[in-house]
């Protein structure tokens, strides 16, 4: 069967075909400039492609409801697959092929979802956005791609253990305090509500500087944000309250402190 005849037969089954460089694995850029995105099941398009390059390899774009288990024994895929089967149970018989390098392609139906592309050493799971070479393609090493399952064989549903192994876990739900702490201004407000006020005659200047420094350096507020919060949430408890220009001066001092070196206390 010629590459063109095979490509048209795949397309007749609703599969999207991609022309690949002869005895290679990369798409023919002059024909499909966007790679797998240009894969097509249109007979006229496919005929045009393979008329231009009659000995092109044939690849199929992986449908959304498929995953192709790519077993590469050169990288330990065969041994890893045996280990997984011994651990989890057998894989159901499905459509499969021998790759040109001596590996295997095993096709399984998967529910729509997010799955990882790497199962283990030498075991890849090809999904949408990927393609795989099929018969009568020729591997760069000279080996042929061949379907090895019986004619009329249907694609089996992936076993639960393979699905679980491949599924990408959802991100953990944020804990309540993570949500609360995501707003630095709200955290700063809560801290200010508990901060000691500045008292004249009791190191009030130092306390004011430390509060400003905490807001600017500790909470990462801008000078304007820190000044607003100090005036709105803290200054009214000071004895006596600071004038706004005095608070602004303390905030500027605190902001400059980020550029100062950290000195160790001498023994």
Question: Where exactly are the structural domains of the chain?
Answer: 3-166, 176-257
Cβ neighbours for 179, distance < 8 A, ≥ 6 positions apart:
none
Backbone angles phi, psi at 49, to 5 degrees: -60, -50
CA distances to 192, 215, 224, 231, 239 from 243, in Å: 18, 18, 15, 9, 12
pLDDT at 253: 87
The whole-chain average pLDDT of the chain stands at 89
**Which of helix, strand or coil describes residue 239?**
strand
pLDDT at 265: 32
The reply to whether CATH 2.40.128 applies to domain 3-166 is: no
CB half-sphere exposure, 113, CA atoms < 13 A: 13
Identify whether the C-beta of residue 193 lies closer than 8 Å to the C-beta of residue 232.
Answer: no
pLDDT tens sequence across 29-40: 999 999 999 999
For the entire predicted model, the pTM comes to: 0.65
Give kind and range of the element (H or E) at residue 205. Answer: helix 204-213
For the four alpha carbons of 210, 214, 220 and 221, in that order, the dihedral sign comes to: negative
Identify whether the C-beta of residue 153 lies closer than 8 Å to the C-beta of residue 94.
Answer: yes
pLDDT surpasses 90 at 103: yes
pLDDT tens sequence across 231-252: 988 999 999 999 989 999 999 9
Identify whether the C-beta of residue 157 lies closer than 8 Å to the C-beta of residue 108.
Answer: yes
Ordered strands of the 131-134 beta sheet: 17-20, 57-61, 131-134
pLDDT at 172: 64
Identify whether the C-beta of residue 250 lies closer than 8 Å to the C-beta of residue 208.
Answer: yes
**Which of helix, strand or coil describes residue 105?**
strand
34: burial class by Cβ within 10 Å (0-12, 13-18, 19+)? exposed
Residues in a beta bridge with 157: 109
Residue with the two structure tokens 């979802």: 113
């Amino acid at each position: 069967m010629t590459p063109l005849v095979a490509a048209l037969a795949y397309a007749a089954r609703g599969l999207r075909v991609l022309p690949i460089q002869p005895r290679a694995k990369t798409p023919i850029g002059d024909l499909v400039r966007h790679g797998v995105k240009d894969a097509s099941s249109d007979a006229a398009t496919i005929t045009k492609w393979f008329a231009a390059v009659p000995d092109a390899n044939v690849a199929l774009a992986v449908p959304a409801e498929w995953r192709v288990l790519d077993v590469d024994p050169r990288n330990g895929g065969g041994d890893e697959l045996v280990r997984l089967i011994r651990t989890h149970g057998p894989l159901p018989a499905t459509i499969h092929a021998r790759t040109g390098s001596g590996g295997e392609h095993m096709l399984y139906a998967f529910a729509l979802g997010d799955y990882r592309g790497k199962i283990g050493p030498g075991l890849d799971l090809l999904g949408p956005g990927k393609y795989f070479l099929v018969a009568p393609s020729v591997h760069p090493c000279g080996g042929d791609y061949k379907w090895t399952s019986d004619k009329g064989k249907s694609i089996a549903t992936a076993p639960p253990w393979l699905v679980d192994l491949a599924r990408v876990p959802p991100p953990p739900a944020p804990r309540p305090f993570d949500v609360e702490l995501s707003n630095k201004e709200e955290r700063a407000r809560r801290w200010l509500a508990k901060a000691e006020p500045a008292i004249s005659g009791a190191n009030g200047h130092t306390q004011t500087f430390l509060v400003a420094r905490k807001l600017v350096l500790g909470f990462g507020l801008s000078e304007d944000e820190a000044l607003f919060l100090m005036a709105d949430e803290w200054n009214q408890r000071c004895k006596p309250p600071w004038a706004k220009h005095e608070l602004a001066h303390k905030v500027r001092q605190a902001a400059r402190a980020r550029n100062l070196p950290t000195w160790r206390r001498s023994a």
